[in-house]
Amino acid sequence: MQAKFTNRIQSIIDMALNGGVRSVPLRNPSQFKTPFTDESHRRRFFAACHRAFEKAQNQMILLLEELRDESDEDEKARIELIIRKIADAIAVQMVQTQTHVMRRFCIHNTAPDIDFETLKKAQAEANRLNAESRQTFALLADLTTFIHIADILHVDVRGTPKLSLIELKSGKVNDVLLSALESYVPDPTALAGC
């Protein structure tokens, strides 16, 4: 089974970690103060990175879906972990040197299992967000091993870079809550004195 996935995993790694810089090369940092020639170059670089991240993310999901049919549980777990570590590498690039932020994403002792139904719903939203602007990128948090507090990690590098977490409402409990809220009529006096 390992040989079956090795080339695809290597392709995903290459896309995620090298796709942007291969498409829009940077200047040598030992010769220049900034790796970018100008603002346009910076925007093109981030757009190329985000496009490469998206392609890699979509390929990771396809590979994980194929992996579900494999019978060797130990090898399946090992390959899934490798794939999830690629998502971790993308997340680290998005957060850059802000390790204090990354430490706050993890609330479990181990990475939760992937729920494919939730992951596919989050993928649809992430791809929608990614299509809005290449200056933003939405990473599926469930693909990572250390982002346990949201469905999507979203970075926006238009202007001052912003990082946000997006929680998508899904699941049986949320469906029950949402259906109850649809028929709920708020009492305006309930907020009096707050």
In tens, the pLDDT along 99-137 reads 666 666 766 777 788 889 989 999 999 999 999 999 999
How does residue 3 score in pLDDT terms, banded at 50, 70 and 90? confident
Please give the Cα distance from 145 to 108 (Å, whole number): 10
Give the pLDDT confidence score for residue 2 in this predicted structure.
64
Residue 191 has pLDDT above 60, yes or no: no
pLDDT band at 194 (very low <50, low <70, confident <90, very high): very low
> Residue 21's Cα: distance from chain center in Å?
19
Q: 30: how many CB neighbours lie within 10 A of its CB?
A: 5
Handedness of CA 64, 69, 73, 74 (dihedral sign): negative
Q: What is the pLDDT, as a whole number, of residue 32?
A: 87
Is 165 in a helix, a strand, or coil? strand
Q: Per-residue confidence at 170, pLDDT binned at 50, 70, 90? A: low
| CA distances, 22 to each of 3, 19, 30, 49 (Å) | 26, 5, 19, 9
Say what the pLDDT of residue 70 is.
84
pLDDT tens profile 44-71? 999 999 999 999 999 999 999 999 888 8
Which of 68, 155, 154, 83 has the alpha carbon at shortest distance from 115? 68
Question: What DSSP character marks residue 156?
Answer: E
Q: Where are the domains of the chain?
A: 2-167
- Average pLDDT (15-30) is 93
Q: Is the pLDDT of residue 173 over 70?
A: no
Following DSSP, what letter does each residue of 100-135 receive, concatenated? HHHGGG--SSSPPPP-HHHHHHHHHHHHHHHHH-TT
Q: 70-74, 76-80, 175-179: which range is least confident on average?
A: 175-179
